[in-house]
Chain A
Amino acid sequence: MIQATNLIKTYGSYTALSGASCSIPAGEFLAIMGESGSGKSTFLNLISGIDTVDSGSLSVFGNQLDGKPVNDLHEYRRNFVSIIFQDFNLLPTLTAWENVILPLKLQGKPVDPAWISFLFEEVGLTSRQHKLPETLSGGENQRVAIARALAVKPKVLVADEPTGSLDSRTGREVLDLLRTVNWDLKVTILMATHSKTASEFADRILRIEDGRFLQ
């Protein structure tokens, strides 16, 4: 499970999180809702291990993230968490298949073709495995990104505005996929969104305002 207690994060004179606390059980699909500047992305950055906690306590599946610099968190990033980005962040000259196996290659883990094929089936892109991202639609790119995130079998999937670059219909398809992934693979999903429609796909909605969670 994920336990955050009194998290504080500042950027210069700006305080992004001012004592945020919450508890997230394993396997939950959580939507974090808030306006721009409310601190939702900052919170997800801390969970992802790509930014550091200034003050407070943050534990993710037994890993204490507070007090550690970003460079010391790469083992945590490898084994526990995967990120899905708003604009996909696929490497444009790698095919869909190559993008999906990339984290395994980077981490020196063996590539199980059966597992990767399964993921492509899960995301409905079996016939598009060898296409380059520029030939795929936005929704297809995001689905490749989801498959990539799942390739390493993370405990936590962090999605920051995953449908932000997509039209509403495609966005619903992606959210549906996330829900399926959550049910089938029991992955804990934390999704930041300001869309009410998107939040309805989650198990629970947690609102954040001015750097604090509204319980």
Chain B
Amino acid sequence: MMSVFQVFKVLTFHYYRRFKLRWILCTAGVAIGVAVATSINLTSDRAVYSFSETLESVTGTANLQLTADPGLSPDSLWSASWIWKVGYYSPFIQTAGTSKGKTYRLYGFDFVGDRRIRQLQTLQNDSIKTSVNGVFIPVDSPLGNEGDTVTIVINAVRYQLIIAGKVSAISGKLPPRNAIFADLSLLLPITKTVSGLDISVPADSLDSVKNKLQLQFPTARIETLNERKQTTAELFSAFRMNLQALGLIALLVSAYLVYNTLFLSVIQRRQTINLLLSLGSHRRSIFIALLVEGAFFGTIGGLFGLAAGILLASLTYSEVSQTLTAVFQLSDSQLSSFSWMALAGSYLTGIIFATLAAWYPAWLGSGTPISRSLKRGQSEFSSARLKKSVIIGVSALLLVLFSVWMASVAENPLWGYAGVTFSILMLSFLAPPVLILLTSLLKKLSSAGEILLATSSVKEHMVKVSIAVAALTMTLSMAGAVGIMVHSFRTTLDDWLTRSIVADIYLKSSSDPTQLVGTINPDVMAILRNHPMTENVITLRTTQIKIDGLLTDIGANETSVYFKASPADLVAGNPENLGLLQKKGGVAVSEVFANKHHLTAGDTVHIRQYAYPILAVYRNYSSDRGFLLMDTLQFSQLFGYKDPTAAAVFLKPGISSDSALLSLRDSLKNFEMDLSVNKDIRENALAIFDQTFRMTRILQLISFFIALLAVITTLSSIILERRKDFATLVSLGSSTFGMYRSLAMESLILTGTSLILAAAGSAVLSALLIQVINRYSFGWTIVTDIPFGELAFTGVVMILVSLIAAAFPMKMIKKLNLPENLKGTIG
């Protein structure tokens, strides 16, 4: 009895020594999948880690943070002095400024008294010992060098600051890339208030200190470090989910590539396998040897994949961090280190997928005598098998419908994921009946020789072709569904932007289009209101607050003016109430807010000691935390007077935006203001959206490329199986081009079936993504908008791809040894 090792040596080693391309293809398949999965894991892990590191570096040893809005007066700091009995605290200021069009976060600390909370280390490895009139910037900051004077605009006023030094670390960690550190004494005259307190107390006192502080400062937000990290995780969850879904597609399709190549090579080794079995080798040894072969490809391919994945991650991380830094803060712009866990996870996943991909060919190949589907002349078509497929496919469809219903009842996105799983099952099992249906239809429509041959071949290889169709369908469906979701989201966003951005010109004191930082000086407001071109000016004030434990964005404007110009897209409530928020003392909440808090129009929301009736629920996509809009009057009541963060200008009739923009810029030349016309705001917002989803597009392209390889290898395996048939066709007078037409038709049937199923699959999956997963995860409505043009283009591309794919195996046919193959002496 031959050992597994001996079987492996005979069956695998000698074979692949001869057919080098086969193992290159297998290895490449695994490498591609692992590379994509690795780059995704590394990128998202690093982004999360980077943000956490930023948080920890700035927070230092503080395990509690009090943030006040509006800030705390220096005098009120004394009322917190009781904290010294149990721990210590340090005031901080956080604000933002711009320099040369870039936004920076300014951190004000007590350099002298702060050392127990955090240590800023300069390049010379010294701690900053004394307070200085300059600022400190991170080593890789683009602001300048030590000794340079920089102009920074804070709240629309220019300040000249000296760079006193460069910070290499803060609390032993990398500082945020766009940070500027200054002493409290420098920033306090600018901000007038302290933003909050960083507090460090023993862990067992944490809760009691937190509760006492909340009573003492009822309007402040008090969070532990873990609570702040949790918020980070939630913010990243949507981003990671999207990437991980696409990573899974890449792994699945590359596993299919491995499966197909192994299947092909098992067919070729039929004789060798039969010989080994007749020489006394056990079926189990053959099975294990073939599984080990798959694992071997996973091991080798995985190594190449890791290397490629690290390279890909380095390239994509720069892309990702640009987007994320705009919204959050990341401490590094390059992929400076890897998570070994992420690497190990991707590698092991690649080996597992490759081994699983080898399972079916190993099972077939170890059959005694060699499995029916590998024997010549045995058709894979079976009515019983077809019937079973239909039953399972239809059952899976019912389960999809059940999942959708359960999602609406339980309002839980997990049912959406269940629906996605059942959808994939449904598509896989409906592939054979749809395939056979299409071939029967084609045969009825045309009696051309190519159709006769192609349909007969498809039927004969029903199992193999169905697996190829299922794999291609899954890829196209998921890519299509993600494409529909992204397009729908963009259309919804565009529509919302069109409704919301109705003023002619918008102003804010920051040049960063993603953030509303800083405030608008009262002098600026006076200039705006008195400008001859201005008809009306409304202001926007924003802040964040916790309502029922959930962080919420609150905004305020002159609602009676705003809603007259911008009728909102209502989910609930009377549209007339929107203009009466001030009069009725009520608020309008976003759909996300309403869903998160299980409230609707007619309910009441409590903020601090006040109760506000909800007069309307409307669609707002500015925040996935939920948005609450009130009139400026109520906002002042809650938070005291605050300068606005933005202003919107309505011009007099007949005045062009461009001429008004020039005139306003001239009027405001002594202030650093960012003015934009309506059109530019929309375009910038959509540009950020597109940048966020650029990664999705890249991964979609990779999936298509892998799908092309899958079609080629399926056709190649069919040709290898049918060499005798092709030799017969040549002997019956078929020309080379005639053979190509037949292969092309077979390829078109394969792709055509996939496209038909994928059309349905994309519809179902996108509905699940948009109406279930998205709705119950984030709480907002996305209006489905199918990009027919893009999908049609994809279909055309896939058809062209299938025609090209059919050309590749032609080389095999041209090289056929007719006499040998006609006698069936090979295979």
Contact = CB atoms under 8 A, between A and B. Distances in A.
B732 to A, nearest CB: 4
B327 interface: no
Nearest to B734: A106
Interface in B537-560: none
B736 A71 contact: yes
Interface string A80-113: 0011011101011110001000110111100100
Contact of B731 (A77, A98, A108): A77
B729 A106 contact: yes
A28 interface: no
B314 interface: no
A35 interface: no
Interface centre among B452, B459, B724 (most CB of A within 10 A): B452
A78 B733 contact: yes
A85 B727 CA distance: 12
B725 A91 contact: yes
B822 A85 contact: yes
B144 interface: no
A107 B733 CA distance: 6
Interface in B372-407: 377-379, 381
Contact of B452 (A41, A77, A94): A94
Contacts of A91: 453, 456, 460, 725, 728
Nearest to A158: B731
B725 A74 contact: no
Contacts of A94: 452, 456
B738 interface: yes
B447 interface: yes
A121 interface: no
Contacts, number: 84
B452 A105 contact: yes
B341 to A, nearest CB: 51
Interface stretch (A17-25, A43-51, A179-187, A202-210): A43-51
Given A87-B824, A102-B732, A93 B819 contact: no
Interface string A101-142: 011011110010000000000000000000000100000000
B461 to A, nearest CB: 9
B192 interface: no
B371 interface: no
Contacts of B730: 50, 74, 77
Interface string B145-172: 0000000000000000000000000000
Given A92-B460, A106-B738, A51 B447 contact: no
Nearest to A87: B824
A50 B377 contact: no
A98 B453 CA distance: 10
A134 B735 CA distance: 28
Contacts of B695: none
A152 B819 CA distance: 21
Contact of B818 (A70, A78, A102, A105): A70
B823 A86 contact: yes
A70 B730 CA distance: 10
Interface string B440-470: 0000000111001100110110000000000
A92 B730 CA distance: 17
B482 to A, nearest CB: 38
B459 A51 contact: no
B814 interface: yes
Contacts of B381: 93
B500 to A, nearest CB: 61
A102 B735 contact: no
Contact of A93 (B459, B729, B738): B459
Interface centre among B447, B459, B735 (most CB of A within 10 A): B735
Nearest to B741: A106
Interface centre among A48, A82, A91, A152 (most CB of B within 10 A): A91
Nearest to A83: B731
A42 B725 CA distance: 20
A133 to B, nearest CB: 8
Contacts of B729: 106
Contacts of A48: 731
B814 A71 contact: yes
Given A50-B731, A77-B733, A106 B449 contact: yes
A17 to B, nearest CB: 13
A106 B450 CA distance: 7
Nearest to B443: A98
A80 to B, nearest CB: 10
Interface in A123-168: 134, 148, 152
Contact of B377 (A41, A51, A92, A111): A92
A87 B725 CA distance: 12
A45 B819 contact: yes
B827 to A, nearest CB: 13
A48 B730 CA distance: 11
Given A50-B819, A50-B822, A92-B377, A102 B449 contact: yes
15 contacts: A71-B814, A74-B734, A74-B736, A87-B824, A91-B453, A91-B460, A92-B460, A93-B460, A102-B449, A103-B732, A103-B733, A105-B448, A105-B449, A106-B734, A134-B377
Given A50-B731, A92-B460, 13 more contacts: A50-B819, A77-B730, A78-B733, A83-B822, A85-B823, A86-B823, A89-B725, A89-B728, A91-B460, A93-B379, A93-B459, A98-B452, A102-B453
Interface of B: 377-379, 381, 447-449, 452-453, 456-457, 459-460, 724-725, 727-736, 738, 814, 818-819, 822-824
